Homo-oligomer: A and B are copies of this chain.
Amino acid sequence: MSRVRVHNFSVSLDGFGTGEGQSLEAPFGHAGQRLHEWFFATQTFQQMHGQGSGDTGVDNAIAGTWGDGIGAEIMGRNKFGPQRGPWENHEWNGWWGPDPVFHTPVFVLTHHPRPSVEMEGGTVFHFIDATPQEALRQAREAAGGLDVRIGGGPSTVREFLAADLVDHLHVTIVPIVLGRGIRLWDGLEDLEQRFDKVESVTTPSGVTHLTFARP
């Protein structure tokens, strides 16, 4: 069976995966870019966004595994865009530009389904109102035997962890205290006990990469 993976998911010391006050201009709310500075500096990120350089150290090596063997992504609606409630129109196609970085089918979880959108570069956004289990069933079918990535945000990752559907969880702990926002770890007591392998490594950028994995 294909595996379900989370990559490059940044949290603050107090466990927030995003800040408070998400908007079009501030996808991570008051956190700004602070949770992802380590990632923006990597070659992986720079190349995802069509730029040429970027660091090639350990952060990059770890970040760069995000796409290996991935055939589909599932994301929460807030990772697609800041809208809440019914879609006002279908013209804005998300934060990710005309050629999104995913290059696979992407299942956007929303209580307000809308028609699928085919973007450049192989990304197709599907909008579904589904449980984690049902979303995963659809994503697995679309992934053609490859792995499925749970792309975030924190509520979506937390729901898939709570349903015990995640086989590889890579969280990056950033040494800041956000104070408010959406927490990753709530309701996940003893999460580590479901995994065979727990690894941590701190890199020179100051972040700690934590991985929970099982076969």
Contact = CB atoms under 8 A, between A and B. Distances in A.
A180 B189 contact: yes
A190 B200 contact: no
A13 B185 CA distance: 8
A128 interface: no
Nearest to A208: B208
Contacts of A76: none
Interface stretch (A80-88, A105-113, A129-137, A170-178): A170-178
**Which of A186, A187, A191, A212: most chain B Cβ within 10 A?**
A191
A48 interface: no
A124 interface: no
Q: 7 closest Cβ contacts across the A-B interface?
A: A179-B189, A14-B185, A177-B191, A200-B202, A202-B202, A208-B208, A177-B188
Nearest to A195: B175
A211 B123 CA distance: 42
Interface string A69-99: 0000000000000000000000000000000
B173 A208 contact: yes
Contacts of A175: 192, 198, 200, 210, 212
A15 interface: yes
A171 B208 CA distance: 14
Interface string A9-20: 000011100000
A52 interface: no
Nearest to A11: B13
B15 A13 contact: yes
A144 B191 CA distance: 46
Given A14-B183, A200-B202, 20 more contacts: A13-B15, A13-B171, A13-B173, A13-B210, A14-B186, A173-B173, A175-B192, A175-B200, A175-B210, A175-B212, A176-B192, A177-B189, A177-B190, A177-B191, A177-B192, A179-B188, A180-B189, A198-B206, A200-B207, A200-B208
